[in-house]
Structure 1
Amino acid sequence: MAMAALGPAETGGPAETGGPAETGGPDWPGASNALGSEPSAYLRQHADNPVFWRPFGDEAFSFAAERDVPVFLSIGYAACHWCHVMAHESFEDQETADYLNAHFVPVKVDREERPDVDSVYMAATQAISGEGGWPMSVFLTPDGLAFHAGTYFPPVPLPGRPSFRNVLEAVHEAWVERRDAVEQNARGLAANMAGAQLGGAVRFDGPPEVLDANVLPEAVALLARSEDPDAGGFGSAPKFPPSAVLEFLIRHAAAPSDTADEARDMAARALAGMARSALRDQLDGGFARYSVTADWSVPHFEKMLYDNAQLLRLYAHWVRLGGNEVFTAGEAASVASRCAEWMVDSLKLPNGALASSLDADTVVGGVHHEGATYLWTPESLREALGPRDAEAVADMMNVGARGTVSELGSPLHPARTLTDAESRLWQRVRPVLLASRNLRNQPARDEKVVAGWNGLAVAALAEAGAILDRPDLVAAAEAVAEYLADVHWDSSSQVLVRVSHDSRARGIGGLLEDYAFCTEGFLALYAVTGTKRWYRLAEELILAACSRFVENGHLADSAGESAQVFNAQGQHAALDPFDNATPSGAAGFAGALLTYAAYSGSHQHRLMAGNILGLLPPLATRAPRVAGWLLATAQAALAGPVEAAVAGYDSPLRRELHSALLKSPSPGLVVALQSDDGGSPAGEAEVPLLLHRSGAPDGSPQVYLCRDMVCERPLGDVAAVQARLAAMALGAS
């Protein structure tokens, strides 16, 4: 439902004139830009704008009600190229700022800090304008209802797109002259959105339906229809890393079935295509957010923690699966190692946590240039390498005389497997090129810490460290986990805070995805280290999430952090089951519940995971590309998941048994390692899966393989454990 017709101003009518406020002089109390002390780098980027920005919150909306003007809501993120463009063109322009300040209360939102705000107003923007993206520009009533919206608006009119000033004038005219129609449309849009919400779609007041195993091969077949078999991945441009879907395909390939080979092949093509492309920085190993082209050759250069955490885990899981001839485990191990090293080297903060992102743009001479740090020309290669190597590298890495991104050049990427000779050349010149590139201006880093994304990183670093035999990566995971426990988690109030900056938690409580991803991270770290503290923290989080996000038997993505968001949703709790750049909160919560139930033996939490998986059948058979993590969780549930309890005191054999389990591709395998203190005398402090488990009578370690806390006869030999896991996978299929 769109706003009522805006009238002549929308097509470029003359600017209004008026009193002092319209010409830039603030004539109301507290008129100023209020973003300077915000934890978000994106908000602080706008702290010097002449626009009187305020952060999203009750104060801003109360101020709008007091002035009887609409709220102009601008949503973006620090690494967003077009956000920078609109800021430079419009928000840094004094005349535009004067008009905006006079007739609106301008509010800035970092979508990474407030995904709840971003989600509801993105849905409104798509309903109103038929498009979505960032920067997002939304006009709201003082109680938070959207009535007009769009994305990027240029400073002058373009074909099919009015200028930002035209839009501001038209919205102001409609607000003053046709208020009743504006408010009626806003209420109608909120009602329509309430009807589309899934806040009541997951119910916990009854047993779940039995999961139909046929859903998974049907999803594989449907995914194959949208695959790009040449470049890898799914769909056409722009193309994003399909991380959650690939996790499902890898798990499905590990469980014998008629579609396992097809799943393995699709995963191999996508992983190989991304690894050899410009999406992956061939010098430092980090992955860009997406590709503008279907063949992954022109990236959009921002590098996000959440993408790299998921991709690190995927490439490590491909190593664990064993790879195939299209994409070997050895090549995957190299990609995973470089990605992990990039995360630690480029995003690690002094306090041990990981920053959110690196910007898409590099500022050169005061001007933002997209990807400038990463682009090469034949001339710049010659300057770094000399003529002979430069010519060979340009040919090998697709650097031509004409830049593929801009006149500044092209990103390095082979788009194929290198020959042995090329590999030797690349190993020799890569450090030289990286050192040369490091002398250039570098993109800005957004140093806010997001709880959920750091939870994803804990799981990825811990598992990659175990699979690749890299204890340094496990240590990095422990440092991140310590930060989350110390800064983000308040054990007294049982609240996880979503964002921190400079080691201080700020803003709203965590959303469902934050609790789910941090639980996932702590449980993965427990499996690798056997440190019971991580299991106990995961247990606290999962129990707190059950209290916080389940109300009257229904699951929601947030716990009412904002009255305005609640109003915009038609005063209904919302649950979005679709994966985006990260798994949906619901899917992540289902996976965390399933793993926790396997450790704890909690039938209640296993049933809750099953209730959420009830969302899967219609999604899997119609839109599996947005249901990857639900599919991956379903694959783990159908496999058991298998529970492995490693009992007995530390010894070389116990370490071998533990390592073999961590390197098993069994879908959703849960690993518990008995602590050397044995817990308290009565065993109360031990993880439930380990209760009453012991080593052999001679003291040697043993592994108990279990399902639903019912364990088989213990095994004390690595080969026997591996054989039994394979047999259990066959039985589950």
Structure 2
Amino acid sequence: MRKDGGMANRLAQATSPYLLQHADNPVDWWQWEPAAFEEARRRDVPVFLSVGYSSCHWCHVLAHESFEDAETAAYMNEHFVNIKVDREERPDVDAVYMEAVQAATGQGGWPMSVWMTADGEPFYFGTYFPPAPRHGMPSFRQVLEGVSDAWTGRRDEVGEVAQRIASDLAARSLVVGGDGVPGEEELAQALLGLTRDYDERHGGFGGAPKFPPSMVLEFLLRHHARTGAEGALQMAADTCEAMARGGIYDQLGGGFARYSVDREWVVPHFEKMLYDNALLCRVYAHLWRATGSDLARRVALETADFLVRELRTSEGGFASALDADSDTADGGHAEGAFYVWTPAQLREVLGEEDGARAAELFAVTEEGTFEEGSSVLRLPHGEADADLRQRLLAAREERPRPGRDDKVVAAWNGLAIAALAETGAFFGRPDLVERATEAADLLVRVHMDFEAGGVRLHRTSKDGRLGANAGVLEDYADVAEGFLALAAVGGEGSWLEFAGFLLDMVMDRFTGEGCALYDTAHDAEPLIRRPQDPTDNAAPSGWSAAAAALLLYSAHTGSEAHRTAAEGALGVVKGLGPRAPRFIGWGLAAAEALLDGPREVAVVGRPGDPATRELHLTALMGTAPGAAVAVGEPDSDEFPLLRDRPLVNGSSAAYVCRGFVCDSPTTDATELARKLTD
């Protein structure tokens, strides 16, 4: 039931929190389904497609201004069939129509607004439209009326435009695997390109807005580990420190905001995404592994604790995001309200002396760095003592909290599983490994359908209930990545087996000619164009993630088919890496693993033996890019790498192989560490 007494619309049956936020709109929303297009064809009206996500600030603004307005909604219902899509549930729909928006307007973003025919052919595009004309933009109502007038008065013209756009999209060149795999020259050129774009003063790459370059940082760490290039490590370390001391990092509760609106990392866009925090947790853990940095250790653990404390669901998975906006003390609703402080608020919580000290430490000024004299907490110099932070955190917990998008996205949970498993192993936190295992169990139990032809992976669930949407390439690849990390840390071969099921599906259902990869399966719902994009965005592209997971799996199993598929997929990095390294960092990181072998490390020993645990941790702490690590009893069938690997003189031992050549086994952890760095 709506606030005005009307009935909730069709979105009331959705599993997406974003769609549920619109369930009481007076707009007669449909989900993306064939029946909606059939209805548009029956009524002879255009389709209005609105795409967004739950933590999108301007999506909420558009909804409040227009979709909640009864008069606007009545016009929409009379003249259109209106479809609402959560881009996080349907990245394929989002990708196809965002490509059209960007081609037509030169820019894109969310909310995305597209008008199309009943055949799904788009003919008019936009993003946010205000309720009244301003800043050179027409009002949303003016756009609706203009589209409707064109549909009724210039139908032939509209049809020609729609068919031309659809044809242009369908005819765009498909990406195929490159000619050979990337080598030393391509990776050196990629590093040079990153050096040119590097912000030496503030860290990171490019100007404002500035996003955490998670995938590029992983490449830089791996490149340094393999080649010893100090410049690569310096860029990674300086960027990580700048972010950790900036406003993009939550100095009280841990975790990173989506991006910084400025190039100095001072003021973030306050939404917190699961994928960002999973990726950055792992990056900081890997930075600590490479350098021993206390700051990197603290941030990795705080980010892991944030994931568990604030994003973990009752079913054991991890929620998608926290909103940027929250309620204010005066009854309003504003971006960043939960996170920002004034000097007076610090004094109120801490007293005069500690409040003044906190203001200096966290760079909180009377003028403020955000809105209305408030400041985003930063830590430009030194460290904050735990007592001060805990007192402020406790006070902040009394504020109205940002909303949480509780849907579980398979791909992003895969990234979280990898991050928590490795962080838990590195820092002696078995509780984090347990949380990773519980999330993996949820994915197997709820998201994976085992059938005669293989495994089907569902993209989302909420409250343990599956969404209707099929997994896309990034789901299969990132979940496989998480399972492989969990297998290496926990020593359970079942996770390697589950990863193999998923990667077999990648090879069978997502791969085309020339080792090209597609974002949707061969038998997925057909759209006006089959989406395909090898470049990273906010998270690794499905293409690069699949290449990395296929390569690691092949190292574990010796599968030539998976190795060939990985090399074919990495061919695209040979072409794109030197030209656009900022947008293919995960592929570059996978290429580093390929050039290093990747190394295969088998640790054999009896359960509970301290010597086995020491060798295992040493193997995990090795910085050799993308090494495959297996641990278990000698001659075990748990992992292929353990077969025919006995104890050495009755003692636990580690075997290291690389490029079909194996070193002599060692029982000494120091010697093993050397084998993983030479």
TM-score normalized by the length of structure 1:
0.89
Contact 1:285 1:338 in 2 (8 A): yes
1:614 to 556, 559, 571: 571
**For residue 13 of structure 1, what is the aligned residue in structure 2?**
none
Q: 2:628 aligns with which of 665, 670, 684?
A: 670
Residue 556 of structure 1 corresponds to 518
Q: Distance in 2 between matches of 1:562 and 1:134?
A: 25
Change (3 A) 1:239 1:210: closer
1:731 aligned residue: none
| Aligned match of 2:169 | 193
**Pairing 1:390-409 to 2, within 5 Å after superposition:** 390-407=355-372, 409=374
For the 8 Å contact 1:51–1:101, the answer to whether it is kept is yes
Contact (CA 8 Å) 1:636, 1:669: kept in 2 or not? yes
What does residue 221 of structure 1 align with? Answer: 192
| Partners of 1:647 and 1:711 in 2: CA distance | 15
Q: Distance in 2 between matches of 1:58 and 1:163?
A: 30
Three-state SS of the structure 2 residue aligned to 1:412 is coil
- The reply on whether 1:321 has 2:290 as its aligned counterpart is yes
Q: 2:646 aligns with which of 673, 679, 694?
A: 694
CA contact (8 A) 2:11 2:31 kept: yes
Q: Deviations over 1:28-49 (max 9, x none)?
A: xxx9721112111111011111
1:163 aligns with 2:139: yes
Q: Decide whether the 8 Å contact of 1:466 with 1:663 is kept in 2.
A: no
Supply the distance in 1 between the matched residues of 2:154 and 2:410 (Cα, whole angstroms): 44
| Amino acid paired to 1:692 | D
Cα deviation code 1:556-605 (max 9, x no counterpart):
11026764x622x2xxx332011000000000000000000001101111
Q: Distance in 2 between matches of 1:338 and 1:181?
A: 57
Which position in structure 1 is the counterpart of 2:15? 39
Deviation of 1:428 after TM superposition, in Å, equals: 2.3
**Residue 338 of structure 1: aligned partner:** 302
Q: Structure 1 residues 25, 456: CA separation in 2 closer, same or farther (over 3 Å shift)?
A: closer
Q: CA deviation at 1:175?
A: 0.9
Distance 1:633 1:447 in 2: 31
How far, CA to CA, are the matches of 1:529 and 1:586 in structure 2?
27
How many residues matched? 670
Which stretch shifts more, 706-715 or 382-391?
706-715
**Rounded Cα–Cα distance in structure 2 between residues aligned with 1:630 and 1:392:** 45
SS in 1 for 2:676: helix
**CA offset digits 1:298-336 (Å, max 9, x no partner):** 10000000000000000000011115xxxxx11100011
Q: One-letter code of the match for 1:524?
A: A
- Write out the 4+ residue segments of structure 1 that deviate beyond 3 Å after TM superposition: 364-367, 551-554, 560-563
C-alpha separation in 1, matches of 2:26 and 2:173: 38
* Aligned position for 2:551: 594
1:243 to 204, 207, 214: 214
Q: Which residue of 2 aligns with 1:5?
A: none
Correspondence 1:618-697 to 2 at 5 A? 618-650=575-607, 651-675=609-633, 679=636, 685-696=637-648
Distance 1:544 1:614 in 2: 20
Quick one: distance in 2 between partners of 1:25 and 1:498? 34
Please report how far the alpha carbon of residue 256 of structure 1 lies from its aligned counterpart in structure 2 after TM superposition: 2.2
Question: Where in structure 2 are the equivalents of 1:68-467 lying within 5 Å?
Answer: 68-198=44-174, 200-202=175-177, 209-257=180-228, 260-322=229-291, 329-364=293-328, 367-407=332-372, 409-414=374-379, 416-418=380-382, 423=383, 426-467=385-426
Match of 2:462 in 1: 501
Residues in 1 aligned to 2:41 and 2:368: alpha-carbon distance in whole angstroms: 51
Between the aligned partners of 1:664 and 1:343, the Cα distance in structure 2 is 25
Q: CA deviation at 1:721?
A: 1.1
Secondary structure, counterpart of 1:566 in structure 2: coil
SS at match of 2:15: coil
Matched, 1:711 2:676: no
Q: Show the counterpart of 1:3.
A: none
2:660 and 2:414 mapped to 1: Cα distance?
26
Secondary structure in 2 matching 1:668: coil
Distance 1:538 1:464, change over 3 A: same
Offset of 1:179 from its aligned partner? 1.4
Structure 2 Cα separation of the partners of residues 459 and 334 of structure 1: 18
Question: Which runs of no fewer than 5 residues in structure 1 stay unpaired?
Answer: 1-23, 324-328, 680-684, 728-733
CA contact (8 A) 1:57 1:562 kept: no
Q: Distance in 2 between matches of 1:491 and 1:629?
A: 29
Whether 1:516 and 2:467 are equivalent positions in the alignment is: no
Query: C-alpha displacement at 1:707, in angstroms?
Result: 2.0
- 1:132–1:401 Cα change, 3 Å: same
Secondary structure at 2:11's aligned position in 1? coil
2:93–2:527 Cα contact (<8 Å) kept: no
SS in structure 1 of the partner of residue 338 of structure 2: helix
Q: How far apart, CA to CA, are the structure 2 residues paired with 1:709 and 1:647?
A: 19
Residues 1:708 and 1:691: Cα distance change in structure 2 (over 3 Å): farther
Aligned equivalents of 2:327 and 2:69: distance in 1?
A: 19
**Helix, strand or coil for the counterpart of 1:147?**
strand
Q: Give the conservation status (yes or no) of the 8 Å contact 1:197–1:574.
A: no
Matches of 2:606 and 2:650 in 1, distance apart? 8
Q: C-alpha separation between the residues in 1 aligned to 2:335 and 2:71?
A: 27
Other structure's SS at 1:137 match: strand
Q: Of residues 522, 525, 540 in structure 1, which corresponds to 2:501?
A: 540
Displacement of 1:726 in angstroms is 2.2
Shift of the 487–502 alpha-carbon distance from structure 1 to 2, 3 Å rule, reads same
Segment drifting more, 241-250 vs 388-397? 388-397
Kept in 1, the 8 Å contact 2:181–2:573? The answer is no
Please give the alpha-carbon distance, in whole angstroms, between the structure 1 residues aligned to 2:575 and 2:321: 34
Whether the 8 Å CA contact 1:279–1:297 is kept in 2: the answer is yes
Write the deviation string for residues 184-242 of structure 1: whole angstroms up to 9, x where unpaired: 111211222233353x5138xxxx62432111111111101111111110001111100
Shift of 1:546: 1.6
- The answer to whether the Cα contact below 8 Å between 1:54 and 1:108 also exists between their aligned partners in 2 is yes
Q: 2:537 aligns with which of 542, 566, 580?
A: 580
| 1:124, distance to aligned residue in structure 2 (A) | 0.8
Aligned partner of residue 469 in structure 2, secondary structure: strand
Deviation at 1:67, TM superposition (A): 1.0
Counterpart residue identity of residue 32, structure 2: F
d(CA) in 2 for partners of 1:36, 1:287: 32
Q: CA deviation at 1:710?
A: 4.0
Indicate if the aligned counterparts of 2:211 and 2:260 stay in contact, CA closer than 8 A: yes
